[in-house]
Amino acid sequence: MHKHLYRTVENLLDRIDHSAGDEKMLVDILHLLVESDDTAAFGVVSGRLYVERELDYLLIKSISGHGPQIAGKTVSKEYQVVKDIQRHRLWVISPKSPGWDPDLEAQFSDMDSAAILLGRDPSYILSLGIRHHGSEDDLLVLLETIRATTGLKLREQAYVNKMKQAQAIQHSLLPRRLPMLEGYEIAAVSHPAEEVGGDVYDVQRVEEGIIGLMLADASGHGLPAALQARDVVIGMRMGQAEGEKITATISRLNRVIHRSGLTSRFISLFYAELEESGNLAYVNGGHCPPLLVSNEGKVYELKTCGPVLGPLPDAVYRRGYATMKPGEVLVIFTDGVTEREDPRNKSDEDDIVEFGREGLIRTIQDCREDSAEEIAGRIIQKVRDFGDGRPFEDDVSVMVVKRLAADNYPPSEDLTLVSSATRR
């Protein structure tokens, strides 16, 4: 009987729309509990919903019983029955209850009631009029089942609300439109592994003819990583606004992250300032070395200039330099791209096959003559296909910068050649 009861209540709650907020959800639950044929078998014939205020509980919904006309009535927190509901979280109310006030109770119901305290800040009291046909133990089982399943739905909703807030915060930090730099195409794509992720990118105009490019990857994913990534965006924008040198901005940001106390977490970051002339000054804080592809299809790395941000408060960061010639492509990415696993070639840990830098290089060489947006989309699609279309295990982000025109120039001398294969 108890197992059937739990399934009945759980199935009822699965019909509820959880997107409208706690109060609307509880009103819908009340309707189902009172009006469903399934719960009528348990003696539920009426219901009321009260919301907590500073000194009392306000009746906001009444179904059957005395009807909707009693909505707006209040019951004081000093009433002994209310104190017992708050103390025990579920309570059977009858003339035998301590402190029972027949005149007060007559305003709300003419039968025994069962009350459940739900939620917090504010709390709600869900009160059911019961035509009791069984033992008090059965009634308590009914109450506990409703309390447990409803409480679970409220916690799920609270989690969903927090994640929506985190999503809103994260999306608000991403540039709605990437600023343009004359002679260049810029595209960026990011796919979190969960509702929110630890990857974040930014493109901001530093001054006339110069833009700042940033891609950062907080360790892990989900809400904690998203909050760390948020701090990076804010910190970098503050440094840009104040005209700081990029090494000074990143060093200060490193100290801030270190002092946050999350010593088990770190952030890799690549930041560059690109001029219309093609001059590129950058700092790579423990991030995957971006790839610069020449007109001939040769691929060069923009090496690390310091450790990841967070673990070492006095870490030193130096600038690196490169030059983008017309027709060249710069691809900045997070490790979710290269560490994407192929589930079709995996039997144990020793057989893990990853997309890898070589897979990324081949993809860029195959489509380097396309637009920046097309290159970014092609990389994401290749990475998705490599994992057999499964959800991403880690956050996956790509930023592509392409300098327009097709003239050939000598390669940058201060970069390390990692591939000279031409795929087209």
Q: Please write the tens of the pLDDT for every residue from 12-42.
A: 556 555 555 678 888 888 887 888 776 666 6
What is the fold, at CATH topology level, of the domain defined by 2-166? Beta-Lactamase (3.30.450)
pLDDT on residue 131? 77
Q: Please write the tens of the pLDDT for every residue from 299-352.
A: 999 988 899 998 888 999 999 999 999 999 999 999 999 999 988 766 555 678
Cα distance between residue 28 and residue 24, in whole Å: 6
**Which string of DSSP letters, residue by residue, matches 41-70?**
TTTEEEEEEEEE-SSEEEEEEEESTT-GGG
Highest mean pLDDT: which range of 43-57, 95-109, 298-312, 370-384: 370-384
pLDDT on residue 61? 95
- Which amino acid appears at position 262 of this protein? L
Find the Cα–Cα–Cα–Cα dihedral 53, 59, 61, 67, rounded to 10°. 180
At the second CATH level, the architecture of 174-419 is 4-Layer Sandwich (3.60)
Domain residue spans of the chain? 2-166, 174-419
**pTM over 0.85, yes/no:** no
pLDDT at 424 over 70: no
Cα distance between residue 34 and residue 2, in whole Å: 19
Cα distance between residue 336 and residue 196, in whole Å: 14
| Residue that the structure tokens 């999306």 belong to | 171
**Which string of DSSP letters, residue by residue, matches 297-361?**
S-EEE----BPPBSS-TT-----EEEEPPTT-EEEEE-HHHHT-B-GGG-SSGGG--B-HHHHHH
